[in-house]
Chains A and B, each alone.
Chain A
């Protein structure tokens, strides 16, 4: 099945800093989502982005499907951005249904 690797695994930043989270995947995808898992465990959709670029406030994401990676940008970090960020992909061409998740990036924003 498709492999999903996220980097870095852990990231500690000061409030106000910018960050870039990366997601590499091993095969063609027809679904790619970024999630934020908050300290209460809730998975919050950030972006549905199998290709292209999207922005939502301080967050933006870019997926280059031909090169099999996606980037999540967080600007002017706030303490509420802390949590785990997951990239999840759906494999194109008849692969396993549902989403395959990476192991996440654990982000800590310090005041």
Chain B
């Protein structure tokens, strides 16, 4: 069965370190998204991609970057982790853009000390 996976599922890091969260989908979807979930804010869009070599900023993109070198993967990088980036991160994908059903991965819980 097609699926979307994230790794690691839990990560503890220190302020200032670079961190990369992986997202891999086997749906063969062109569109991939990264969200963060925080108490009191719900889920907010960080970055998204509509295809290979395409990346776009979302609502809360500062301090994050993504790159899309193939259809299956959209890694999220925190260039210099800050305590404010402690959150749960969700990756999602869809077949036909933002007007289509988005399927979510299991999430990565990141703690920045």
Contacts and interface: CB of A to CB of B under 8 A. Distances in A.
Interface of A: 1, 30-31, 33, 35, 41-43, 45, 48, 50, 86, 88, 90, 96-104
Interface stretch (B62-70, B79-87, B96-104): B96-104
Contacts of B107: 41-43
A41 B40 CA distance: 16
Nearest to A104: B42
Nearest to A35: B104
B97 to A, nearest CB: 8
Contacts of A33: 101-102
B74 to A, nearest CB: 13
Contacts of B88: 41
A50 to B, nearest CB: 8
Given A43-B90, A86-B43, A98-B45, 14 more contacts: A1-B59, A33-B102, A43-B107, A45-B102, A96-B45, A96-B58, A96-B59, A98-B35, A98-B48, A98-B58, A99-B45, A101-B35, A102-B42, A103-B41
Nearest to B43: A101
Contacts, number: 64
Contacts of A96: 45, 58-59
Which of the four size classes fits the interface of chain B?
A: 20 to 34
B58 A97 contact: yes
Contacts of B109: 41
Contacts of B15: none
Nearest to B47: A98
A101 B43 CA distance: 6
B95 to A, nearest CB: 11
A97 B103 contact: no
Contacts of B41: 103
A31 B100 contact: yes
Nearest to A30: B99
A31 B35 contact: no
Contacts of A102: 42
24 contacts: A30-B98, A30-B99, A31-B98, A31-B99, A33-B101, A33-B102, A41-B88, A41-B107, A42-B107, A43-B107, A45-B103, A48-B101, A86-B42, A90-B99, A96-B45, A96-B58, A96-B59, A97-B58, A98-B35, A100-B45, A101-B43, A101-B44, A103-B40, A103-B41
